[in-house]
Structure 1
Amino acid sequence: MFIADLPYAKTLRDHLVRTVRFAIEEDLGSGDITAQLIPEDEQSTARVITREEGILCGREWFEEVFRQIDPTLELNWLKQDGDKILPNDALVEIKGNTRAILTAERTGLNFLQTLSGTATLANRYATAVDGKDIIILDTRKTIPCLRLAQKYATHVGGCQNHRLGLYDMFLIKENHIAGCGGIENAVKRAKEIAPDKRIEVEVETIEQLQEALNLPVDVIMLDNFDGQRTTEAVKLNANKIKLESSGNMDLDKIGEVISDHPDFVSVGKLTKHVTALDLSLRLVN
C-alpha cells in the first residue's frame, strides 16, 4: 500500500510535507544542542527495529522527516507499509551524517510509531469481520493535523475511509435534525445545497429509521442500536438503503451486530484510542 493508491493522494502528500515541516520546527527550535556533541562530519549507520508485533505504516512520513533534516541521508527499507512486523524485526537502515540522523530520530519515529499503531488497531477490526459482508469505516475522530495520515493508516490496516471532512458528503446528525426541524427538512435542504453529494442520516429510534427509509438518502446510520434493534432495522430496511452501525463500537459490540449484517460499522476508536507501536532507533556503526 502506498499513498499514490488513494484518490486523495495529492492532497495527502501536500499535508504530509507541511505536517512534517511543522513537527520538525516544533522539535528543533533554535537547533539540536545535544547533537553538537557529535563531530560535525561523523558518518554512521542506524537501524530502526520494532519491539512488538504490528502492521507497519508511515514510511513516507518517516522519509520526509529525514529528507527535510538532511536530503543526503540514505534510507533502505526492509519492510513495506502494510507488512506484518514481529518483535526485533529491522524496518529500515539509515546511512549518513550522524548528527542529522540523531536530530531526525524522534520526529521520524513519532510519525512511524503513531501511524503503525493506527494501522495495527485497524487490522484487528478488519480481521474481526473477515469473511463477512461488512466494511469497517473510520471517522473524523482523528488526532489534530493527522486526519489524512490516519485515514491512510486505517486503509493500510484493512479498513475503509468514511468522509474525509465536512466538505465531501452530508452527515445529518441529531443536532442538524433539530436545527432543521426534522429529518425530512434536513434532507430536502441538503439536496438543494449540493444535489451531487452523498447524504447520510443518523437515526436514534426505529421511528426515525422508518421516516428516513422514505427519503432520498444514500446511507442511514444506526446510532447506538443494540443487537436486537439492529436486527429489526435490517429487516425493516430489506436491502433498500445502506445501513451503518455506529456508537461506541468496540470489538465486543461489533460481535453483537455482526450477525445482523449492516453494510458498514464505523469505529471512532480506530483513530482516537491508538497506542503507538514500540519502535527504537539505534546506531549500529
Structure 2
Amino acid sequence: MCGAGGGCGGGALDDGDDDGLDPLERGLDPELAGLLAAAGLDPVVVQDLAHLAVEEDLDQGADVTTVATVPEDARATGDFTAREAGVVAGLRVAEAVLSVVCGAGFAVERHVADGESVAAGQRLLTVTARTRDLLTAERSALNLLCRLSGIATATNRWVLAIEGTRAQVRDTRKTTPGLRALEKYAVRCGGGVNYRMSLSDAALVKDNHVIAAGGVAQAFALVRAKFPDVPVEVEVDTLHQVREALAAGADLILLDNFTPDATAEAVAVVAGRALLESSGRLTLATARAYAETGVNFLSVGALTHSAPILDIGLDLRAGAPEAQREA
C-alpha cells in the first residue's frame, strides 16, 4: 500500500521484475533516504550498515533454506509485529535492509513511527515483496530493529523514572562499534539526550587525564588553551575537586560515584555556576533520588551497552502458494 499512512520502496510496487543488481550494489530508495536524513541519520551510513548486515548473513553465498523451499516467483506480505510492549526505534533502518535486498519490487505500509510506545501484538510495518527477498532480509532487519527498539525502551524507562525533575537522561560513548549513530538515535527516540558523538566534539577530562596533567586545574587549563572553542567537562571524585573544577572555569562537572547526599552538597557548592552530571552508582531504583538533588544530567552508559532487545518478529500472512505467486 502506498500513499497515506504508507510508503513504497523504490517507488510504486512494480511487477516484481528483478533489477539485476546484487543486493550489495543497490542503493536506498530515494524517499527512504530522505526520511532517514529527516530523522538525523546519514543515509549513506545506514546504507553501508545494511549492506554490511546482508553481506555478513549471506557470506558470499545464498540463503540456501529459502532458495530450496520457496518458489522464485512467489510473493508474500509480512507484518513486523511487537512481541512485547516498548518504544520502537529503527523502523526506517529495517526498511533500508529491505531496500537493498528487495530492490524496486517491494512496498511498505507504516503503522507507527519511531519513538512511539507500542503494545504486544501491535503491527509496526507491513511489507509486500518477493518471498525469497523477505526471508533473506528478515534477520538482518530484525537484528537492527530489535536492538534499537530495546535501547529506546530502556531509555524511556529512565526518562519516566525522573519525570517532573529538571534532570535529563544522557548517553555515553559506550556504544557498539560501528553503530554509534544508530544507537544514539535510539536514545533520542526514547526521550534521552545525546552527549559526545565522538572524541572531537567535546572534551571530557577524566581521572587519567588529571593524573597525566598533574591536577584538575592543570588538565582543564591545558585543554582550554589547546581547544578554546570546545566545551570542557571535568570528572571529579570529591567535593574538593568540584571546587577546583569550578574555579578553573569548567562548563560541566561530572560527579563520579557520588552518593545522593554528596550530590546535593555539590549542587549547593556550584549554585548554578556550571552544569552538573551524575555518573556511576546509578540504577533505575536510585535515579529519582539523584535527579531530585538538582543535577542537570544523569549519565547512563547502560542505555547502549546493556539494554536488552525489544522482541519483534516478522510473520508472513497465510495464503495459498499460488495466490502469492506473481501472475
TM-score where L is the length of structure 1:
0.95
Equivalent position of 1:45 in the other structure? 77
Structure ID, larger Rg: 2
Distance 1:64 1:5 in 2: 15
Please report how far the alpha carbon of residue 31 of structure 1 lies from its aligned counterpart in structure 2 after TM superposition: 1.5
Please report how far the alpha carbon of residue 283 of structure 1 lies from its aligned counterpart in structure 2 after TM superposition: 1.0
Equivalent position of 1:24 in the other structure? 54
2:117 matched to 1:65? no
Distance 1:97 1:137 in 2: 41
Identity of aligned residues (%): 36
Distance 2:281 2:263 in 1: 15
2:87 to 55, 72, 77: 55
Equivalent position of 1:189 in the other structure? 222
Distance 2:153 2:271 in 1: 34
Point out 4+ residue stretches in structure 1 off by more than 2 angstroms: 2-6, 12-15
- Indicate conservation of the 8 Å contact 1:248/1:268, yes or no: no
Please report how far the alpha carbon of residue 15 of structure 1 lies from its aligned counterpart in structure 2 after TM superposition: 2.2
Distance 1:258 1:185 in 2: 30
- Indicate conservation of the 8 Å contact 1:62/1:112, yes or no: yes
2:140 counterpart SS class: helix
Distance 1:13 1:24 in 2: 16
Equivalent position of 1:110 in the other structure? 143
1:269 to 302, 307, 313: 302
Alignment RMSD, CA only? Answer: 1.3
5+ residue gaps, structure 1: none
- Indicate conservation of the 8 Å contact 1:154/1:270, yes or no: yes
Aligned runs of 1:1-285 on 2, under 5 Å? 3-4=36-37, 9=40, 12-29=42-59, 30-36=61-67, 37-71=69-103, 72-284=105-317, 285=319
Please report how far the alpha carbon of residue 258 of structure 1 lies from its aligned counterpart in structure 2 after TM superposition: 2.1
AA of the residue aligned to 1:79: V
Distance 1:225 1:3 in 2: 39
Write out per-residue CA displacement over residues 129-161 of structure 1, whole angstroms, 9 at most, x where no aligned residue.
111111110111112211111100010100100
Please report how far the alpha carbon of residue 264 of structure 1 lies from its aligned counterpart in structure 2 after TM superposition: 0.9
Write out per-residue CA displacement over residues 5-34 of structure 1, whole angstroms, 9 at most, x where no aligned residue.
56xx36x33322212211111111111111
5+ residue gaps, structure 2: 1-34, 320-327
1:252 counterpart SS class: coil
Write out per-residue CA displacement over residues 25-77 of structure 1, whole angstroms, 9 at most, x where no aligned residue.
11111111111121111111111111100011101210110011012211111
Write out per-residue CA displacement over residues 170-214 of structure 1, whole angstroms, 9 at most, x where no aligned residue.
000000111111112211111222111100000001111111110
AA of the residue aligned to 1:51: R
Please report how far the alpha carbon of residue 224 of structure 1 lies from its aligned counterpart in structure 2 after TM superposition: 0.5
- Indicate conservation of the 8 Å contact 1:24/1:107, yes or no: yes
Please report how far the alpha carbon of residue 266 of structure 1 lies from its aligned counterpart in structure 2 after TM superposition: 0.6
AA of the residue aligned to 1:44: A
- Indicate conservation of the 8 Å contact 1:249/1:267, yes or no: yes
AA of the residue aligned to 1:274: A
Distance 2:38 2:169 in 1: 19
- Indicate conservation of the 8 Å contact 2:150/2:308, yes or no: yes
